[in-house]
Structure 1
Amino acid sequence: MELPKYLKKFEDSNGELEQWRAFLKEGKDMTQEQTSKWAKPEIEKAWEELEKLSKDPKLRLLYDSRMKQILDEQARHDTAIQEGLEKGLQQGLEQGLEKGLQQGLEQGLEKGLQQGLEQGLEQGLEKGLQQGREVGIKEGMLHSAKMLLEAGMALSEISKLLQVSEEELQPLLSESEQS
């Protein structure tokens, strides 16, 4: 979820998930009175931790360092998605061109070559984009799940939040425990 697009205010949030979304978006601007009045104890505790972090210079430095690490990881993630899209597009183009050229030779050189190239490019682009999207989305989803897992979120919560089965996330748990 893109938090800047989330419009509900904390006070207008119905349910724990909406309160968490609102807290993540506007928590730094909230008062303890607001969180204690509207929030579950977990959100109030998160607010207290946020306050503590913002006042302690050492913790703030640790936080800034962690945020830099997260942003660097996000940049690597974005690069991986882009590379996945490009790789999928390239594979699709190659497969499409190959298929199109083969069909073209069977139908006759002049007509077949033209038709095969057109079909091959079209199919290759379509297949490459689809493969690239699938690879990029899966890598992005697993990366997000891994970051949430490392941040201490329960596997069941990550599964609900990302709408991915716990079985698909289980390998990440193994990776996280080995790290």
Structure 2
Amino acid sequence: MYYIGLTARLLLALVFVAAVLGKSWPRRSFDDFVAALSALRLFPRRLSGAAASATVAAEAVTVLLLAVPATVEAGFVVAMALLGTFIAGILSARGRGRQVPCRCFGAGGSTPLGLPHVIRNAALAVVAVLGLAADYASAGGSSHPGGVVLASVTAAVGAVLVVRMDDLLALAPMAR
């Protein structure tokens, strides 16, 4: 169970690091993220900058919580809450006919937020649930260097697939 928790922890941390960096640097990426939030019309336009800042801050806090052994469980819980919020926001915007490009990992994406993004966030939320359960079940467990390497590589590959999802889906377009 330890390695499942470690893989989940690393995967989520890497995904949220990519999200924070992608939205924060360069400055244009943050401006594009603010514009995307504004276009979603989930709250008054004047709050878009504050919502964008709060989102990036919450993602950064999630990374920090997952990085510190004493706060890993809180990190999983915050990750679940964030991902649930993202799912609700996407579904709400889509339900009102809003088609806004995904700026989940910064500027450059042209794929509108939709069902693939909901599924991705739901899958990440499941990873957080599994990580929390595994962390709880393996409290005080020991590790082997080979297992840690395998968990790390698995998490890194998973994070790349998650972050590059829109590009991968563009290679094999689904029937619309």
Q: TM-score, normalised by structure 2?
A: 0.28
Which structure's relative contact order is higher, taking Cα pairs within 8 Å and 6+ residues apart?
2
Higher helix share: 1
Which of the two has higher C-alpha Rg? 1
